[in-house]
Chain A
Amino acid sequence: MTVSQPVYQLDNIVHRYNGQPVLNIDHLDIQPSSIVGLVGPNGSGKSTLLKIMGFIQKPTEGQILFNGKPAVPFDEAVRFQVTLLTQEPCLMKRPVFKNVAYGLNVRGDNKNQEKLVCDALAMVGLDPNTFYRRPWDQLSGGEAQRVALAARLVLKPKVLLLDEPTANVDAASSELIRSESIRARSDWGATIVIASHDRQWLYDVCDEVLHLFKGKPAGSGRSNMIFGPWVQKGDGCYAKRIGDGTVLIVPPPPNEDATAFMDPASIRIVPANEKTTGKDMASVEGKIIRLSLDQPSGHLFADVRIGSLTLVVCVEESHLVTTTLHRGWPVTLTYRLDSVSWL
């Protein structure tokens, strides 16, 4: 079996704003034609990582290899290969077609430009007859986001970086971005990296989801991050109030504002109101709000709503023996206290 060369190899990347470190990645490889998700809370370094991978800015320290060669912003080797779609749809003060055609003009690609622009607009669900000559200031937020995506897709980039692409769009646009991302990979083998808060959307789209926390990688795959503050209980344990009088019990955290990490595989679903046994066990009541199949692993995952918190649980066959899973059904989640780790 041959192992293909990674598109990106990031080594010892450190980035600082005003002396404060915001990103610290020892090593990260991104494989060609993969769809990789980045998830993490605000300030976790997702956008900074995308800017560095998009060669918009140079990291303070470290090296990026692109297709095996060191690369920096404005390098000819990367300038026409990588494109980044930012969260805020920024357009130039020009009609739609000039916005979409800008990248083609920069590349000196003037052949069939009108057709390419029309095709790109159609790809993002905008009627070329209506939008082709429309001024930039007569677009809604969602339309501007679609035009911005069309301006990237028309370039057929080798790497497409999307920063919170679904943050300001409706459900239909969100689905369209998902389908076009997959199409970009299948049609021309694009590598796609997507940062989003919408974990479920990422799990549906991506081959792999990387977690970032305070600028550092914090595992991959489906996981649960639960933010403090934590309040001490009488029995030496700590708890977080998550609404409706429900509390989530955890072992003593390193500090009151620490972030807890719970592996979905370490949580077990049992029928509602079933009592937990064992000194080191804890349980919490919730309702199933979603069941989804993880395509790469084939595992079934349940999203369980507990007050204001949603926990992802990996459903094992043994769970299905003891309880029937349906959306909206109340369940009890049980977990070992020592399965909770701290970031």
Chain B
Amino acid sequence: MDFILAGFIEAFQLLLGGDGETWSAVTATIKASTGSMAVSLVLGVPLGFVLGYFDFPAKRQTRLVVDTALALPTVFIGLMVYAFISNRGPLGGMGLLFTISGIAIGQTFLALPVVIALSATAVESMDRHLKMLLISLGASRRELLFSSLWEVRYGVLAAGLTAYGRVMTEVGISMMVGGNIKWHTRTITTAIALETGKGMFSTGIALGVVLLVIAFGVNVCLSFLRSK
């Protein structure tokens, strides 16, 4: 037990002392996850709305594909993205391998199905009379769309939060696509895996604490938004 306790004490010393290596991993994680979440939300929320709101041919099959993508293993996504952006792949010339952008691309494939599926579920659970209400109050087609989306904002926020949780805690994509390069593409999760393997519990615990703090901070922000 002593080494765990000592690990926590040293972890706080590393964080509060501004340890460069620790904060480099934190920065890399925030950069990659912010990029992937931005793209996932911009693409995923409208697609989720379309999937949940409209009836179109092959809707059930589309939903099945999206739901299956929810279970995609991160190492498989890492493998596929690696194959596409490595020198031998079709996008090899773009120099994305072992970069934060490369990690963000991989994490987008992880987060996008979560945002689409959960946004679609939120839209499907919308009051079935809402459309009638909005039209009867004089909403145009555009106002109908935006007002409906606003009505399911909590569901969409929950979708974003769930996707963010997956992105922040994944190891496979960051390890395979990012290469876990110190000071460059080493993220919180890959650093924890590496430091634990080296027996450096304090660094691992410190990074784990940062993950928890970020998750807490995001939830506090969402809670604040919900109260508005």
Q: How many residues of B contact A (CB 8 A)?
A: 17
Query: When the two chains form their complex, are residues B130 and A92 in contact, meaning their CB atoms are under 8 A apart?
Result: yes
Query: When the two chains form their complex, are residues B132 and A84 in contact, meaning their CB atoms are under 8 A apart?
Result: yes
Query: When the two chains form their complex, are residues A103 and B141 in contact, meaning their CB atoms are under 8 A apart?
Result: no
Roughly how many angstroms separate A152 CA and B140 CA in the complex, as a whole number?
Answer: 16
B138 interface neighbour in A93, A107, A148, Cβ under 8 Å: A107
Roughly how many angstroms separate A88 CA and B135 CA in the complex, as a whole number?
Answer: 15
Q: Which residues on B sit within 8 Å (CB–CB) of A90?
A: 127, 129-130, 132-133
> In the complex where A92-B147, A92-B151 touch, is A106 in contact with B132 (Cβ < 8 A)?
no
Query: When the two chains form their complex, are residues B137 and A155 in contact, meaning their CB atoms are under 8 A apart?
Result: yes
Roughly how many angstroms separate A106 CA and B139 CA in the complex, as a whole number?
Answer: 6
Instruction: Tell yes or no: A74 within 8 A of B by CB.
Output: yes
Q: Which residues on A sit within 8 Å (CB–CB) of B61?
A: none
Q: Which residue of B lies closest to A55 (CB)?
A: B135
Roughly how many angstroms separate A77 CA and B137 CA in the complex, as a whole number?
Answer: 14
> In the complex where A92-B147, A92-B151, A106-B143 touch, is A151 in contact with B129 (Cβ < 8 A)?
no
Q: Which residues on A sit within 8 Å (CB–CB) of B143?
A: 106
Q: How far is the CB of A55 from chain B (nearest CB, A)?
A: 7
Query: When the two chains form their complex, are residues B140 and A86 in contact, meaning their CB atoms are under 8 A apart?
Result: no
Query: When the two chains form their complex, are residues A56 and B132 in contact, meaning their CB atoms are under 8 A apart?
Result: yes
Q: Which of B50-96 contact A (CB under 8 A)?
A: none
B133 interface neighbour in A73, A92, A155, Cβ under 8 Å: A92
Q: How far is the CB of B147 from chain A (nearest CB, A)?
A: 7
Instruction: Tell yes or no: A342 within 8 A of B by CB.
Output: no
Q: Which of A58-92 contact B (CB under 8 A)?
A: 73-74, 79-80, 82-86, 88, 90-92
> In the complex where A74-B141, A86-B129, A106-B143 touch, is A93 in contact with B136 (Cβ < 8 A)?
no
Q: Which of B5-36 contact A (CB under 8 A)?
A: none
Instruction: Tell yes or no: A51 within 8 A of B by CB.
Output: yes
Q: Which residue of B lies closest to A148 (CB)?
A: B133
> In the complex where A92-B147, A92-B151, A106-B143 touch, is A51 in contact with B132 (Cβ < 8 A)?
yes
Query: When the two chains form their complex, are residues B137 and A103 in contact, meaning their CB atoms are under 8 A apart?
Result: yes
Roughly how many angstroms separate A155 CA and B138 CA in the complex, as a whole number?
Answer: 10
Q: Which residues on A sit within 8 Å (CB–CB) of B130?
A: 90, 92
Roughly how many angstroms separate A84 CA and B132 CA in the complex, as a whole number?
Answer: 8
Q: How far is the CB of B24 from chain A (nearest CB, A)?
A: 42
> In the complex where A92-B151, A93-B151 touch, is A103 in contact with B129 (Cβ < 8 A)?
no
> In the complex where A86-B129, A90-B129 touch, is A56 in contact with B136 (Cβ < 8 A)?
yes
Query: When the two chains form their complex, are residues B151 and A102 in contact, meaning their CB atoms are under 8 A apart?
Result: no
Instruction: Tell yes or no: A40 within 8 A of B by CB.
Output: no
Q: Which residue of B lies closest to A103 (CB)?
A: B137
A73 interface neighbour in B129, B135, B151, B154, Cβ under 8 Å: B135
> In the complex where A92-B147, A92-B151 touch, is A103 in contact with B132 (Cβ < 8 A)?
no
Instruction: Tell yes or no: A165 within 8 A of B by CB.
Output: no
Q: Which residues on A sit within 8 Å (CB–CB) of B140?
A: 74, 79, 106
> In the complex where A90-B129, A92-B147, A92-B151 touch, is A54 in contact with B139 (Cβ < 8 A)?
no
12 A-B pairs with C-beta separation under 8 A = A54-B136, A73-B135, A79-B140, A83-B138, A85-B136, A86-B129, A86-B133, A93-B154, A102-B134, A106-B138, A107-B138, A152-B136
Known: A56-B132, A56-B135, A90-B132. 4 other contacts (CB 8 A): A90-B127, A90-B129, A93-B154, A102-B137
